[in-house]
Amino acid sequence: MAVREGLLAVLSGGPRHGYQIKTDFEQATGGVWRLNVGQVYTTLDRLERDGMVTLDDSGESKVYSLTENGEQELARWWEAAPLDEAPPRDELMLKVLTALDRGRDHALRVIEAHRTVLTSLLQQRRRRMREEGPLTDSLATQIVNDALMLRAESDLRWLDQCEARLQATS
């Protein structure tokens, strides 16, 4: 349920219609998260049903606006940190864990393969960031790239740690 709140956030900048919400959302995320139009409209339908937005159908196009409820919901989302939530299912983690079930050696191979790819991916991103980033990228894009790189670094560190733990038990 993140797109839902994302759309509310866009609408907090003022009423707009579906297509515009989509493009605004994509721009806010520096273009990394594309939205399918269909998803926007169905999500808006649900938001309307739940009293978070209202629809003005009278003009040419359908214009959505935030309601009081919607604003409160949005404010809660921005403030609230997800303390108790179950950790998001992570594909890399799942791969290693299931591979581990099939034996230490298999897990080590999976770790190695992913480390190689992740490393080169990270280097590419670093280079791109150094060369073009500061000149061409918006603040949003820079922030997104920071996140992607830090995430990749953290994944790599984790792979190393997994390997260490596996070798300790051999």
Partner DNA sequence: ACTGCCATAGTTACTGAGTATACATACTCG
Partner DNA sequence: CGAGTATGTATACTCAGTAACTATGGCAGT
Chain contacts with a second copy (rule: CB under 8 A): 2-3, 5-6, 9-10, 12-13, 28-30, 32-34, 77-79, 81-83, 86-91, 93-102, 106, 110, 113-114, 116-118, 121, 139-140, 142-144, 146-148, 150-151, 153-154, 157-158, 161-162, 165-166, 169
Shortest reach from residue 58's CB to a second copy, in Å: 28
CA distances from 77 to 3, 82, 83, 160 (A): 12, 9, 12, 35
Q: Name which of residues 82 to 111 contact DNA (CB under 7 A).
A: 89
Look up residue 162 and give its two tokens: 């997994």
The site string for DNA over 16-55 (x = CB under 7 A, - otherwise) reads -xxxx--x----------xxxxxx-xxx--x---------
Whichever of 60 and 168 has its CB closer to a second copy, that residue is 168
In whole angstroms, the minimum distance from the beta carbon of 97 to DNA comes to 15
16-17 vs 53-56, strand pairing mode: unpaired
Q: Residue 109 contacts by C-beta under 8 Å, 6 or more apart in sequence?
A: 99
